[in-house]
A = this chain, B = another copy of it.
Amino acid sequence: MGEVTVVVGISGVGKSTVMEEALLLSEADPMVVNYGTRMVELSQERDLVDHRDELQSLGADTYIDVQMEAARSIVEDAETEDSVLVDTHAAIKNPEGYLPGLPKWTLENLEPDTIVIVDATAKEIHNRIESDERDREVASVEEIEEYRDVMREMASACAVMTGAHLNIIENHDGCAEQAAEELVGVIDR
């Protein structure tokens, strides 16, 4: 397997836009895979869930099982690829707290070379969610601040456990293009 780049970021930070833009600008042609989508597909194959929203309601053991299987299936698909881009989360906030999106068993399978955090200030993220038509529940700036802290702490632990680079790309208001170019720098390295 070639270079594995994992891209994480809080919902509302604009991760998808930065990734799409980066893929347009990139000269490499990485395989792109969404970790959550892969988990949903595997769960549907096993008749465990119908929709993505149900993923968090799987029992812990089943969830871990699907999470590990998803990592393995990504590694399998990527075997002949030069470059793989995994779209996922370092921390997933749900009613039970912050769930690590890249726990030990996922890291041991994916063996990422770089973990990219797409980041912005808590205030910027708050405003983006508020103006989002999808009408998501809007967390307070303080809550987003805590979420960002936990996300980066978990991503730092992931880096120590794998030796991966931790790359923080700032996606400030009006700077999505620049953020995309920075991500291209990582993908095309």
Contact = CB atoms under 8 A, between A and B. Distances in A.
A100 B152 contact: no
Nearest to A168: B146
Given A96-B167, A97-B167, A114-B97, A104 B161 contact: yes
A37 B153 CA distance: 29
A161 B159 contact: no
A186 interface: yes
A26 interface: no
B98 A159 contact: yes
Contacts of A165: 94, 96-99
Contacts of A157: 153-154, 156-157, 160-161
Given A113-B60, A152-B149, A163 B96 contact: no
Interface of A: 60, 64, 91, 94-100, 102-105, 107, 113-114, 116, 146, 149-150, 152-154, 156-168, 185-186, 189
23 contacts: A94-B165, A96-B114, A96-B186, A96-B189, A97-B167, A97-B186, A98-B167, A99-B163, A100-B159, A100-B160, A100-B163, A103-B160, A103-B162, A103-B163, A104-B161, A105-B163, A107-B160, A150-B166, A154-B157, A154-B159, A157-B160, A157-B161, A158-B160
9 A-B pairs with the lowest CB-CB distances in the bound complex, closest first: A97-B167, A153-B156, A103-B163, A157-B157, A97-B165, A157-B160, A98-B166, A100-B160, A96-B165
